[in-house]
Every structure is written in C-alpha cells, then in structure tokens.
Amino acid sequence: VGRPPITLDAEEIVGAALHIFNEKGLDAVSMRTVSARLGVSPVPVYRRIGNKEALLDAMANRLLADVAPLPAARENWRHYAFRWVTALRTRLGSTDVKLLIGERRAPYVEASRPLVEKLQASGFGPDAAVQACRLLIWATVGFVIVETRRGNRPSRRGGRRAPGGDPAGVSPAETDRLFELHLRFLLDGLERARLTVSRSR
Amino acid sequence: VGRPPITLDAEEIVGAALHIFNEKGLDAVSMRTVSARLGVSPVPVYRRIGNKEALLDAMANRLLADVAPLPAARENWRHYAFRWVTALRTRLGSTDVKLLIGERRAPYVEASRPLVEKLQASGFGPDAAVQACRLLIWATVGFVIVETRRGNRPSRRGGRRAPGGDPAGVSPAETDRLFELHLRFLLDGLERARLTVSRSR
DNA sequence: ACCTGAACACCGTTCAAGT
DNA sequence: ACCTGAACACCGTTCAAGT
C-alpha cells in the first residue's frame, strides 16, 4: 500500500527482538515476529539491521553490555576477577542465552574491558592483562557450554549411551566447586606468571 | 505410491548426513536433503532417526567417536593429556564442526574415556580423574568457541566497535602459545591437587 | 507395515508495485 | 525515498492415501 516513513531505529528493533527472546525463547525470534511486534513489514527491519545474523549479533552485544560488575577502588585483582567471572557465568546461565551468545566473540571482548583495566592497575603488563582475560573467558565459556543442561529435548532414537563413564549424576553443587577449582588453578598460574607472560610481541 | 520396505538403518542415514555436512556444510544438512541423497522421502528418515535434533546428535557423536588418541603404555599422564587435548582442539577446529558439536555434551563424555583411564592408572582417584577431564574439556571447548573465527559474514550494520580494546590483531601463533599456557596452568594445578581433589562424594 | 505425494505452518529474503 | 503485499525458495513435520 505504501505508508509514510517510520520512526524506528536499530535500538528499537533490537529491543523488540529481546522482548520476544525473553518471553518466548530464541526459536520465537524471527524477522517476521520481530517486525510484526513493531507493526511493520519485514522490509524496514532489513533496511535498518541488515539481516538476521546482524540482529542476533546486536542482541548478543546488548545482553552482555552490562555484565561486568564495577571494580571497587581497593579491590585486589583476584577478587575482582572472581566476581567478574561469576557474573559472566551467571549471565550465560540460561539455555537460550547460551544458544544466542555462545559462539560469538565480540560481546566477550567488550565486556572484558573493566577486567583488563583492573589487571593493568594491579601490575599486569598490557598484553598480559588481555591474555589473562582471554584465559578466564575460555574457562567460563567452556564451562557454561558443556555443563548447562538443555531441557532434555525429545530425540526419540540414537540414545544408546555406553555404561559407566558418564558423570551425568553429578550434582550442581559439585559442579560449582569444580568450576571454582578450575578458576583457582588459573588465578594461581596467572599470579605466578604475572610478570613473565607479557614478554611477547 | 507405496513401495516395498527399504534396507536402510540409522547408521546409513547418519553417514549420508555427514557426507552432505563435509561437502556443503551444516546449513546444507536438512531432513529433505538427507532423504533425497538416500533416494527416499523424508518419512523413512523420521521413522528411523526421530527428528532433526536426534540426527544432529548422532552426527556429533560419530564425529567425536574417534578423537581420542591411543595412550602409549609408558606415557605419563601429562603427556597424554596434552595429546588428547590437542586432538580435541584440532577436531573442533573447523567452523562447521564447532557449530555442530559445540553445545552438545554427550560426545565429549564419550571421548574422554581413555583419558579418564590414563589418569586413574597414574594415581588419580576415580572422581579426581573424571573431574580433571572435565576441566580439560572446559578449557578446550571455551578456547575453540571463542577463538575460532567464523568466516566474517556480511552483517551490514551494527558493527560499531569501540576502539582500543579489541585484541583482534592477535596472531594465531600467539593464540596457540596462550592456549598452551592455559593448559600448563591446569596441568600444574591438577598435579598439585592430584590426591586432594578426590576428597568428595 | 511401510512407503509416497501432498500438505501445513512456518522460515529468510527480495521483488514489484504503490504513495 | 520508503513503505506494503506477494512472491520465491526453502524448512521440519505430519497426513491421507496407496500397495
């Protein structure tokens, strides 16, 4: 039919998409459902966002934009690193968030800025700080990816599981302790290597 | 039309799916393309596999079924753990494999059996061996998920990247070194905790 | 019992009008 | 210039025949 131009920017589109995401999950987010929620045809959404992948990127960035907790002035780097990692782990806790953010990279990089600063302020060289951050992100993302159960979907066949080796009966508390142990190994290693790692580039 | 029953089992279906996967990537694998490659309608595939998710599960299991290298008899656990992790990291190296296996859990559990055995034979308690395995898997999966570039897709908008904090210019060699450092931190920690960790359950 | 063609209810994306 | 309806080329999944 052809209506006048629409007051609609990319932020609004991402907001609508996240609304659907939070209410009905990742599967419910489509270019059509998002545009319908905004009361327009899909075309204006394509004009502003590009395509679906760009929309998912933008959603992931927004979802991680505010994960990093504020570092306290006198907080030591180990303590802050622990809080930072815990915040990330919690934010990635939901299955759908994990599916959305999982494989992307940019959101983590963005979120790690305050941690990098804290590390630098604590005596890490610039490169060492960035590298320490990457280690912590790997540990957290790997943990979340592998350990977060997804809601036991149907999967009618093919489930023959060889007996005896699957640690499926592990309690969440146990897994929590193990994650903290992993973290401690990393922090200990970083502590010891603090001044050595930066010897590169 | 109605033809006589078909000689076709789940393994064949998974094989056809993996063939398409290897040749044209994950996006090209659909219930329709797989059944077409087998010369049947989608219905027999559904009868034997269940649904698409079950097919992807089976593909992921098969892709990781033979990752674990054979441990040598006199090999120490650190050396084998390093080889095992390297094999996993390599297998997960391709973008599409990462997309397929990424979020699943069962394939890792299966693949970790020889490593658990080697650890037990090296003085780890049963629980400690399984837990050490999990740590190594977390580290590897996190690394692969975060660091594997996917082929810079279009994403026409939303690319405003704040300046200065993105370690995108890091060389692959640098990343390799960092991964090995991460691994060393873990192995050192495990070494020290070898007899302590099992104090649980 | 087990196949096929056809359908249902969706996708992402783009085109040809319309104003 | 920028919208809409309609279309294109697909999906996953299931149904109603057919043999």
CA of A11 to C1' of D5 (A): 26
CB contact under 8 A, A157 and B185: no
Is residue A100 within 8 Å of A60, Cβ to Cβ?
yes
**Residue B42 approaches strand D within 7 Å at CB:** yes
One-letter-per-residue 3-state SS of chain A: CCCCCCCCCHHHHHHHHHHHHHHHCHHHCCHHHHHHHCCCCHHHHHHHHCCHHHHHHHHHHHHHCCCCCCCCCCCCHHHHHHHHHHHHHHHCCCHHHHHHHCCCCHHHHHHCHHHHHHHHHCCCCHHHHHHHHHHHHHHHHHHHHHHCCCCCCCCCCCCCCCCCCCHHHCCHHHHHHHHHHHHHHHHHHHHHHCCCCCCCC
A182, A187, A192, best to mutate vs chain B, most B CBs in 10 Å: A182
CA of B179 to C1' of C11 (A): 39
Which residue is closest to A190 within chain B, CA to CA? B185
Is residue A92 within 8 Å of A140, Cβ to Cβ?
yes
Written as tens digits, the pLDDT of chain B (201 aa) is: 455 677 889 999 999 999 999 999 999 999 999 999 999 999 999 999 999 999 999 999 999 999 999 999 999 999 999 999 999 999 998 889 999 998 899 999 999 999 999 999 999 999 999 999 999 999 999 999 999 876 533 333 333 333 344 455 577 888 999 999 999 999 999 999 875 544 444
CA of B52 to C1' of D17 (A): 25
* pTM of the predicted protein model: 0.88
| A window 30-89: Cβ near strand C (< 7 A) | 30-33, 41-43, 46, 51-53
In which band, very low, low, confident or very high, does the pLDDT at A195 lie, cut at 50, 70 and 90? low
Report d(CA A19, CA A23) in Å as an integer: 6
The predicted pLDDT at position B185 comes to 97
Please give, rounded to a whole number of angstroms, the shortest distance from the CA of A166 to a CA of chain B.
Answer: 6
Q: What is the mean pLDDT of residues A83-111?
A: 93
Q: Which residues of B touch A49 (CB under 8 A)?
A: 156-158
Which residue is closest to B158 within chain A, CA to CA? A58
Flag whether pLDDT at A124 surpasses 80: yes
**Residue B38 approaches strand C within 7 Å at CB:** no
Is residue B111 within 8 Å of B133, Cβ to Cβ?
no
Is residue B98 within 8 Å of B80, Cβ to Cβ?
no
Residue A110 neighbours by CB under 8 Å, 6+ apart: A61, A64, A65, B162, B165
